[in-house]
Amino acid sequence: MDFYNDIERYGSRIAVITDSGKSYSYKELAEAADASAVAVPPRSLVFLVCENCFESIAAYIGFLRKRAVPVLVNPKIDDEMKSVLLEKYRPQYIFCPSGWIKCDDSVFRLNDHVLIATENAELHPMDAELAVMITTSGSTGSPKLVMQSYKNISSNAGSIAEYLEIRSDDRAITTMPMSYTYGLSIIQSHLLMGAAVIATEKTLMDKGFWSLMKEQGATTFGGVPYIYEMLKRLRFGRMDIPSLRYITQAGGKLSRELALEFSEICRDKGIKLIVMYGQTEATARMAYLPWEYAFSKAGSMGIPIPGGRMRLIGDDGAEITQPDIVGELIYEGENVTLGYALSWSDLANGDSRNGILYTGDMAKRDADGFYTIVGRKKRFLKLFGNRVNLDEAEAMLNKEGYKCVCAGRDDLMKIYIEQCDAAASKNATEYISGRLGLHHSAFKTIAIDTIPRSESGKVMYSKLEELYG
C-alpha cells in the first residue's frame, strides 16, 4: 500500500494542521493534490520548492498521483545553485511560494503557492519507476540527486509505520525540512496510517513551536543529533508535554552520553525514545533501536527495519560473522534507491543498485545482533602509521567540553573548535595527543566562529577547509 493514491479513504479525518491552527481533512488534501497536478502531464519533471506547509504536501501528493516526478528543492538555496539546478535538470514546471522565482504568469495557484510552466516543454526520457528526486544532505548544495522509486517510497513508509506502531490518532509535528529525507519520511509514514501532520516552519528555538505543539496535542517529533543538543540546552527534561507518545532520532549518530541522558529523560516521562539509522540512498530508514533497549543498548542504531537485511564486509571482501568485529555495513531491501542523477540525461538510467547499498559506514554487530556505527569509511586518517577514526576523536573532545569537529589528511588531523582561545587550543592538543598516544605535531587546532551545518543540522565537512583552512 502506498500513502498517496488512496488517501480519500480517510475522509474527514484531519490530515494536515498548519502554523495558524487551520485543519485540512484527508478529503480536502486529496482535492488540493489533484487540483495542483491537473495542468501537469504524466512524467513531467517538476521542481517542488517545498516548505513545511499544506500547499507543499498537497502538491507533492498530487504529482505522485499523476506520475509526474518532483525534485524536492529547499527554498533557501542561493541564486547560483538555483541557476545550476535549473540548467542541469530543465524542469517542465516549478511549484513554489509566490516570488521564489520571477515569472509573468502561472498556470495554477494554491493559496500563496504557484505552479509555473517553464520554457522546457519537451519531456525528458525517464525510467518508468522513477518517482521523486531528493538531495543527499537536506540542503541543495550540489546538483547530485538521489532517484527514488515508487516501490522505495511505499516499502519504506510501510516499514516505518510498522516498527513505530504509528496510530491513526497520532499527530507528528515537523522539525526538519520536507526536502530532507528524514523530514519527508515522517510526513509519508503518518499519512499512510491516517494520522495528522502538524506542518510548521517554526524551529525549536521559537516559543511558538512549543505553543503549537501543546495546543495541537503533538504525539511525536523527530530530530538529528543537533536537534537533541538543542533540546538539552532547552532543558527538555523539565518540559511538560503530556501528549507526547514517542520521539525519534536519526540523521547521524547520537553520542552514547546524549543517548543515555535522553533515555533516562524519556523513561521518567513515559515517552518512547526510538533511535534510528538511515540514508537518502535507502529512501529514509534502514535500522531502528526498539524503545525497550534505549538504555541498555545506548549508542547502538539497533536492528534492520522490517523487510531489510544487513551484513558486514571486511577489508578482504569476506563477510564478517563474528561479533564485535568492525567492517563496512551493507544493506539490502526494497527501499534501496535506483541510483544518482547529475542532470536530466540520467533520468532514464534505471536501477543501478539492484536492492543493495554499500553504505560507506563502518559498524560492528554485538552478540545479540544489534549494530553500532563506529565511523565513516572515509573518516579515517593515518597518523604516523596509526589508523585514527575522526568520529571517535570528535566524540572524545566533545565529551571534554570542546565544541569541535575533526578533519584533515594523513599525518595531520585538524581540530576545528568553536570560540577557542590559545589556552583551550593547547589543552585540546595535549588531551587528544595523550588519548591517542601520538606526538602533538600530528594535530593542528583551528579556532572558528561556528561549525558549518546543513539545513538538516549535519556538519558540512567540505566547507571547513574552504572557510577556515
The lowest-confidence range among 102-106, 148-152, 398-402 is: 102-106
Torsions phi, psi for 10 (to 5 deg): -90, -5
CATH class belonging to 7-371: alpha beta
| Residue 82 predicted with pLDDT over 70 | yes
The 10s digit of each residue's pLDDT in 354-399 is: 999 999 899 999 999 999 998 877 777 878 767 788 888 888 898 8
- What's the pLDDT at 457? 75
pLDDT of residue 434: 86
Residue 81 reports pLDDT greater than 90: no
pLDDT at 137: 59
Query: In angstroms, rounded to a whole number, what is the distance separating the alpha carbons of residues 315 and 317?
Result: 5
- Report the DSSP pairing between strands 309-313 and 303-304: unpaired
* pTM (2 d.p.): 0.86
Q: Quick one: pLDDT at residue 422?
A: 87
**Strand (E) or helix (H) holding 228:** helix 225-233
- What is residue 141's predicted lDDT score, i.e. its pLDDT? 55
The alpha carbon dihedral of 24, 27, 29, 35 has a sign of negative
Cβ neighbours of residue 410 closer than 8 Å, sequence gap 6 or more: 381, 382, 383
**What is the structure's pLDDT at 139?**
44
Q: What percent of the chain has pLDDT over 90?
A: 75
Distance CA(154)–CA(2), nearest Å, equals 5
Could you tell me if 175 and 44 are in contact, meaning their C-beta atoms sit under 8 angstroms apart? no
Higher-scoring residue by pLDDT: 466, 85: 85
Q: Please report which confidence band the pLDDT of residue 83 belongs to, taking 50, 70 and 90 as the band edges.
A: very high
Higher pLDDT among residues 208 and 77, named by residue: 208
Buried residues in 376-392 as b, exposed as e (16+ CB within 10 A) = beebbbebeeeebbbbb
> What is the helix (H) or strand (E) element at residue 172, kind and residue range?
strand 171-173
CATH-assigned architecture of domain 379-468:
2-Layer Sandwich (3.30)
Q: At CA 287, angle to CA 129 and CA 15, rounded to 5? A: 60
- Residue range 311-361, pLDDT digits in tens: 999 988 899 999 999 999 999 999 999 999 999 999 999 999 999 999 989
Per-residue confidence (pLDDT) for residue 138, from 0 to 100: 44
Q: What residues have CB less than 8 Å from 228, skipping those under 6 apart?
A: 249, 254, 258, 262
Give 419-449 pLDDT, tens digit per residue: 888 888 899 999 998 888 888 888 999 999 8
What is residue 140's predicted lDDT score, i.e. its pLDDT? 46
pLDDT above 60 (res 54): yes
Average pLDDT over residues 223-242: 93
DSSP state of 124: P
Domain ranges for the chain, please list them. 7-371, 379-468
Mean pLDDT of the chain: 93
Q: How far apart are CA 184 and CA 172, in angstroms?
A: 12
